Amino acid sequence: MEIIPAIDIKEGKCVRLFQGNYSKEKIFGDDIIEIASKWIEMGAKRLHIVDLDGAKNGIRKNNIIVKKLVEFCDIPVQIGGGIRTFSDAKELFHLGVDKIIFGTAAVQSPEEISRSVEKFGKEFIIVGIDAKNGMVQTDGWLVNSKMNSNILFNNMINLGVNQFIYTDINRDGTLSEPNYKHIIEILENFRINLTVAGGIATIENLEKLKTIGAHSAISGMALYEGKINLVEAIKKLL
């Protein structure tokens, strides 16, 4: 199972939020290239980038940083946050991004995802499903869509999507361990490649996710706080 370091960008800085709350941020630096370089040197095979400004209002303000990052990295970069349309996806692929992640669009404009899957191929399209108490949140996790996450999984699978990132918002940034029960339910109900985010605090958490069948895991706070050593985690998960 692969562990993917997260770099969340807000106003040009690398930050982590507590349960997605924009007023509860912790800044880990303003040199995104330096941060990416650290994870690459420690063995990361992929980076997970989130444009938090774009996620909140659909206006991506960090494309210049993303372009520099992609040009610097010799590993694949996947990005989410504020990607609402086929045109957004096309623009980011033009910048050199390996995979793009739709979130809010899965609820509000699924036709844009369908078009993207058809044009670019399902291997390059990920849908991020961010849920609180089983209900999908959109617009930077600020809006309750009133849609059950299982319904959204099913809707997206019917469009040809088979790569998903599932984030339990109640666990995100808390270092309280993943929501194993719901993750197991998802993997039992759907034949998908599932990446898990939210609550990962230890290498043991990662090993359990591997055991229950997760395809990969995204780690942010645990890596930045030194709770997980990336080199050691990669060795353990081989």
The catalytic site residues sit at 8, 130
Phi, psi of 137 (to 5 degrees): -110, 145
Angle at CA of residue 225, ends 44 and 149, nearest 5°: 70
Cα torsion for 85, 17, 209, 186, to the nearest 10°? -50
Scanning the chain, the segments in alpha helix (DSSP H) are 32-41, 52-57, 63-72, 86-95, 104-108, 110-120, 149-158, 180-189, 203-212, 221-224, 230-237
Backbone dihedral angles phi then psi of residue 101, each to the nearest 5 degrees: -120, 115
